[in-house]
Amino acid sequence: MNAFSLSGRKALVTGANAGIGQAIAVAMARAGAEVVCAGRRSCGETVAMIGDAGGVAGEVIVDFADPMAGASLFEGANIDILVNNAGIIRRADCIDFTEEDWDAVMDVNAKAVFFTSQAFAKGVFARGGQGKIVNIASLLSFQGGIRVPSYTTSKHGVAGLTRILANEWTARGINVNAIAPGYIATSNTQALRDDPDRSAAILDRIPAGRWGRPDDIAETAVYLAAPASDYVSGAILNVDGGWLAR
């Protein structure tokens, strides 16, 4: 048996239209999974990439600004793997941060993660199956950051949710883990990479000496979804080039 194969498995990846989510969806298809790409915008590009590579994928439009939007995604779908990747960020000084921005981030990044995971687990338990949940946390699950109070709080929450769900569900057949990405070269970090001083300061702290790539996160997600990680649950795995070791 190939311990890293996802053959015969079906995965749902949220926020799969671009960036890390897109890379995860493509990598899971490459490992043999059928992939459902979920996003508030079309995931057509991701579905096409998977199809061009010989994989099987479909898409569903869902906006996790409604934290209960994922509740019906698993009815009769026989999904074995859930990747909670969708997330948003709002920036302002803490003294000026609004309730609207607080609630918007918490709804998508924390509340939706919990209730989507709950719906997934109900489906797995109902059919007596087994499953894997991979949450996308952050370096700010461990650090405070600056000017992102709701994002930091939500990502601390993702780490806590990962642990409590693992405590309750691992014995029932669902492993729950999280990945904490470091500084990854996506559109979300373009402004940082375009700032020579800021980029140099970031790179100076990363022992690997480079920005991460979406594939760095994607292949880690495949591992956490595959049989190779069957004895891993409740872990928050840093994929940060050594950032937190500094």
Of the candidate ranges 7-11, 54-58, 163-167, 189-193, the one whose mean pLDDT is the lowest: 189-193
pLDDT number for residue 152: 97
User: What's the rounded mean pLDDT across residues 23-52?
Assistant: 98
CA torsion angle for 204, 158, 31, 15 (degrees, to 10)? -90
Q: Is 232 left (phi over 0), alpha (psi -120 to 50) or beta?
A: beta
Q: Quick one: tokens of 25? A: 């969806």
Q: For 94-140, what is each residue's pLDDT tens digit?
A: 999 999 999 999 999 999 999 999 999 999 999 999 999 999 999 99
Measure the CA angle with vertex 132, ends 128 and 135; round to 5°: 140
Q: Decide: 55 and 29 in contact? Cβ < 8 Å.
A: yes
pLDDT of res. 188:
78
Query: What's the order of all strands across the beta sheet hosting 131-136?
Result: 57-61, 34-39, 10-14, 81-84, 131-136, 174-181, 236-239
Would you name the residues annotated as active-site residues?
A: 151
Share of the chain above pLDDT 70, in %: 100
Listed by start position, the domains of the chain span: 10-238
- Say which CATH topology domain 10-238 has: Rossmann fold (3.40.50)
- Tens of pLDDT along 140-151? 999 999 999 999
Measured CA to CA, the distance from residue 20 to residue 218 in angstroms comes to 7
Q: What is the model's pTM?
A: 0.96
Residue with token string 């109902």: 126
Query: What 3-state DSSP class applies to 124?
Result: helix
| 222-241: average pLDDT | 98
Please, which residues have CB within 8 angstroms of residue 26's CB and are 6 or more apart in sequence?
46, 49, 50, 53, 55, 218
Whether the pLDDT of residue 1 is over 80: the answer is no
The C-alpha torsion from 224 through 228 and 234 to 235, rounded to 10°, is -70
For 78, list phi and psi in degrees, rounded to 5.
Answer: 50, 45
